[in-house]
Structure 1
Amino acid sequence: MAARSVFVVVFCLVSLLFFWSSPPSGPQGIAHLDKVVHFGLFFVVAASWHYAFRLPYWVSMLALTAYGIAIEMIQYYIPGRGADVWDVVADVAGAAAFFLCFAGYKKLRARKRGRA
């Protein structure tokens, strides 16, 4: 139950950030910083999603991809915001990175248990 509560909090905070934060105006100090933010936030959302629901990876990726697309579609209609397909790519990459890291961690842990 605690994992689902954490997911709800993470999901709400991330959604608020995507819907109500103003995009930076003027030149950015770091190129493509917004894509790095999308990647990082979706890494965290994927982690909280995984621990809350424990669904197969492909189901989780499908749901998280749909969430990323929905965010961009909603942002298209918010004044001062815009939709960007590359944000969705960064979202999917962040979620995939979590699942790849988690799968690697499980494999490494299983290998260590086999030695013990």
Structure 2
Amino acid sequence: MEKRRKTIEIAAALAPMAWAGLIFAASNSPRGAELPMLVPHFDKLVHAVVYGILSGCIALALVIHTGWSPNRIAWTALILASLYGVTDEFHQYFVPGRSTELLDWVADTTGASWVLLAARTQASWFVSVSQRYSKDQPT
């Protein structure tokens, strides 16, 4: 049981970093490498989904590794995902064929907030996972 728990803790800690790395890699490619957009503003939906996943990964890591309240976890995950969106837009300014768009960041933050709001409405989940992986519990 101890080995499984440690594996889950490590995976939860690495998931947000791995996902952020994938976001960076995707935003580092020139725009010309993408498929043509068939649906107007479809990229905003993609931004929302991608950053929703990022905020969920961050929240899960915080649930497992901190004893924080669900509100604190949700706000911290939202702020971190949103700030990463800012840095991603800044980074894209320097990538040929890419641009910095305020609406991309709005979509990032909106997607992050939707996922966290959905998770936050299930506060019992936050609490049960937090209690299961609490640092105070014997291993």
TM-score class normalised by the smaller sequence:
0.7 to 0.9
Structure 2 partner of 1:39: 48
Match of 1:95 in 2: 112
Q: CA RMSD in A?
A: 2.4
The number of residues matched between the two structures is: 109
Unaligned stretches of 5+ residues in structure 2: 1-9, 128-139
Post-superposition CA distance 1:72-108 (Å, at most 9, x none): 1110111110000000000000100011000122369
Partner Cα separation in structure 1 for residue 85 and residue 46 of structure 2: 13
- Which position in structure 2 is the counterpart of 1:8? 17
- Pairing 1:50-89 to 2, within 5 Å after superposition: 50-54=59-63, 56=72, 57-89=74-106
1:31-65 C-alpha deviation (Å, 9 max, x unpaired) = 11110110000011011111112362222222221
Matching residue's letter, 2:117:
L
Q: Quick one: percent identity of the two aligned structures?
A: 23
| Structure 1 segment 95-114 matched on structure 2, within 5 A | 95-106=112-123
Question: Normalising to structure 2: TM-score of the pair?
Answer: 0.68
> Structure 1 stretches of 5 or more lacking a match?
111-116
TM-score by length of 1: 0.81
